[in-house]
Amino acid sequence: MNRKRGIFLLIFLVSLLFIINYKFINNAIVEFLTDYETAVVKRIIDGDTVVVENNTHVRLLGINTPEKGEKYYNEAKNFLEMIILNKTVKLEYGNEKYDKYGRTLAYIILNNKNINSEIVEGGFGNTYIYSDDEYTTRLKQAWNECISNEKNLCEKSDDKCAKCIELEKLDVKNQEIIFNNNCSFDCDLTSWTIKDEGRKRFIFQNFILEKNKEVKIIVGNETNTNNILYWKNEGYVWTSTGDTLFLRDADGKLVLWRAY
C-alpha cells in the first residue's frame, strides 16, 4: 500500500512540475522550431524596408506601405524610425526568405510585438499576402481593425460619390474590372486611383462616370474608347493566387476595397 501511495505521489509531483513549466517548455519548443535571427536596425529606407547590420536590406513581410510622394509615406517611415531604429530586433522568416530583388523577407519582432501588423493596424500600410504562414491571420485582423477604426489609409471617403460607385466585376482571368455609378447624378472620378496589394496603380484622367453608367478598366496597352479604359501595364495586375483591390478618391481616402 505504501509503495502504491509513493508511486501516486511521484506521478502527482511530476504532473504538477509539468503543468507549472508547460508555458516555459512550450515557448522553448516554439523558439527552437522558428526560423529567425536577431539584428540591429541601422537605417530605415521607408515604411516597409530597413537596413540591418552587415548592410542587409530587409523587406517587411506581408505588408506594403506608400511610396515616396504618396500620402502617409513619411508617417509610415517615421513610425518605424520611432519604434525600431537602433534597436535589436528579431527577424522571423516565413515560407520565402528572399524576394526577386535579393532582399531578405522577414517579420520584425520587438518586445513580442509583430511590427509588420502594427504598421497595418495603425493605417500606415496594407496587407500584401502572397504566402500563408503563422502571421497571415494576424495581418488580416490588423487590416480589419484599421478599417473599423478608420485610421489613416483606412479613412473612409467623404466624397458624395463614394456611396455611388460599386464594384460590379473583378475578372482575374481577363484582367478587367467594372465599376457602376448607381446614383442619379454624374461622378467626377478624376484623380481617383485603383491599386493592388503591391505597387501597381491606375489613375483616372479627366474622367466623369455618368449616372447609372459603368466603366470597364482592362489591363492592356490599347487606346481608351468610350467607357472602356486601359491600365497601361506590362503583363498582369491581378494575381491568380489572391490579391486586393483598393479604390481611393482624389484625396486618397478609401472608397472601397475587395480581397479575393
Domains defined for the chain, CATH in brackets: 36-153 (2.40.50.90), 157-259 (2.60.40.1260)
Mean pLDDT of the chain: 90
H or E, element range at 33: helix 2-33
Q: Identify the band that residue 134 occupies on the pLDDT scale cut at 50, 70 and 90.
A: confident
Tell me the C-alpha distance between 221 and 219, whole Å.
Answer: 7
Q: Identify the band that residue 20 occupies on the pLDDT scale cut at 50, 70 and 90.
A: low
Tell me the per-residue pLDDT of 168-213, one tens digit each, with 9 for 90 and over: 999 999 999 999 999 999 999 999 999 999 999 999 999 999 999 9
What does the pLDDT read at residue 34? 54
Spatial CB neighbours of 5, under 8 Å, sequence gap ≥ 6 = none
Q: Identify the band that residue 100 occupies on the pLDDT scale cut at 50, 70 and 90.
A: confident
Q: For residue 31, is pLDDT > 80?
A: no
Q: State pTM to two decimals.
A: 0.83
C-alpha cell at 151: 485610421
Average pLDDT, integer, range 12-26: 55
What does the pLDDT read at residue 234? 81
| 65 vs 101, more confident | 65
Q: For residue 17, is pLDDT > 80?
A: no
Q: Are 21 and 80 in contact (CB under 8 A)?
A: no
